[in-house]
Amino acid sequence: MTASSAYLPPGLPTPAADLDDLGFWEHCNRRELRIQRCSACGHFRHTPMPTCPACRSMDFTWAEVPGTGTVFSHTIAHHATHPALRGFGPYNIVVVLLDGADDVRMVGNVVDVAADEVHIGMKVVLHWEATAEGGYLPRWRRA
Amino acid sequence: MSFADRTAIVGIGESRYGKRASILDISEFALLCQAIKAAADDAGMDIEDIDGFCSFGDERHEPVRVQQALGLPRLRFSNMVWGAGGGGCSGAVMNAALAVHAGICNSVVVYRSLCQGQYQRFGQYRPRPIGGSHMAPFGLLTPAQFVALTFRRHMHLYGTSTDALAEVAVAFRSHAQRNPRAVARSPLTYEDHQASRLIADPFRLFDCCLETDGACAIIVTSRERARNLRHVPTRILAAAQASNPGWGLGPSGSHNMAIDDYATVNSRELAKALFGMAGITPSDLDVAQIYDAFTGVVIMALEDFGICGRGEGGPFAQAGNLRWPHGALPSNTAGGLLSEAYLHGLNLVIEGVRQMRGDSTAQVDNAQTCLVTSGGAQAHKSALILARD
Ligand SMILES: [Zn+2]
Lowest mean pLDDT among B178-187, B243-252, B333-342, B344-353: B243-252
Of residues A13, A46, A85, nearest to B127 (C-beta): A13
DSSP character at residue B268: H
Q: How confident is the model over B286-303, as a mean pLDDT?
A: 98
Nearest-angstrom CA–CA distance, B96 and B8: 10
Count of CB atoms within 10 A of residue A70's CB?
17
Contacts of B338 (CB under 8 A, 6+ apart): B168, B169, B172, B173, B176, B184, B206, B208, B209, B210, B292, B295, B332
Contact B14, B215 (CB under 8 A): yes
Which band of pLDDT confidence, cut at 50, 70 and 90, is reported for residue B378?
confident
Of residues B132, B246, B262, nearest to A13 (C-beta): B132
Which band of pLDDT confidence, cut at 50, 70 and 90, is reported for residue B127?
confident
Whether residue A95 is predicted with pLDDT greater than 80 in this model: the reply is yes
Nearest-angstrom CA–CA distance, B320 and B330: 9
**In sequence order, what DSSP letters do the residues of B106-141 get, joined into one string?**
SEEEEEEEEETTTS--SSS----TTTGGGTGGGT--
Contacts of B149 in chain A (CB under 8 A): 73-75, 93, 95
Which pLDDT value is given to residue A4? 52
Lowest mean pLDDT among B120-134, B176-190, B287-301: B120-134
**In sequence order, what DSSP letters do the residues of A53-64 get, joined into one string?**
TTT----EEEEE
Whether residue B120 is predicted with pLDDT greater than 80 in this model: the reply is no
Nearest-angstrom CA–CA distance, B152 and A44: 25
Report CB contact under 8 Å: B142, A81: yes
Which band of pLDDT confidence, cut at 50, 70 and 90, is reported for residue B39?
very high
At B280, which amino acid appears? Answer: I
Can you give the pTM of this predicted structure?
A: 0.97
Selected for mutation to probe chain A from B121, B122, B133 (highest A CB count within 10 Å) is: B133
For A24-41, the pLDDT digits (tens) are 999 999 999 999 999 999
Which pLDDT value is given to residue A3? 42
Sign of CA dihedral B153, B156, B158, B163: positive
Whether residue A43 is predicted with pLDDT greater than 50 in this model: the reply is yes
Q: How confident is the model over B96-106, as a mean pLDDT?
A: 98
Which tops the pLDDT comparison, B130 or A20? A20
Residue B342 annotated as catalytic: yes
Whether residue B122 is predicted with pLDDT greater than 80 in this model: the reply is no
* Count of domains observed in chain A: 1
Distances (CA, A) of A63 to A28, A43, B61: 12, 11, 46
Q: What percent of chain B is modeled with pLDDT above 70?
A: 99
User: What number of CA atoms fall less than 13 Å from residue B364's CA on the CB side?
Assistant: 28
Determine the structural domain holding residue A115 and report its residue range.
3-7+16-142
Which band of pLDDT confidence, cut at 50, 70 and 90, is reported for residue B179?
very high
Q: How far is B214 from chain A (nearest CA, A)?
A: 23
Nearest-angstrom CA–CA distance, A38 and B220: 47
Nearest-angstrom CA–CA distance, B331 and B287: 6
Q: How confident is the model over B290-317, as a mean pLDDT?
A: 98
β-partners of residue B213 are B18, B115
Ligand 1 centroid – CA A113 distance (Å): 37
Q: How confident is the model over B333-348, as a mean pLDDT?
A: 97
Whether residue B170 is predicted with pLDDT greater than 70 in this model: the reply is yes
Which pLDDT value is given to residue B80? 95
Which pLDDT value is given to residue A2? 42
User: What's the distance, CA B6 to chain centroid?
Assistant: 22
Lowest mean pLDDT among B44-48, B96-100, B123-127, B299-303: B123-127
Q: How far is B139 from chain A (nearest CA, A)?
A: 7
DSSP character at residue B363: P
User: Which domains are delineated in chain B?
Assistant: 3-117+209-388 (3.40.47.10)
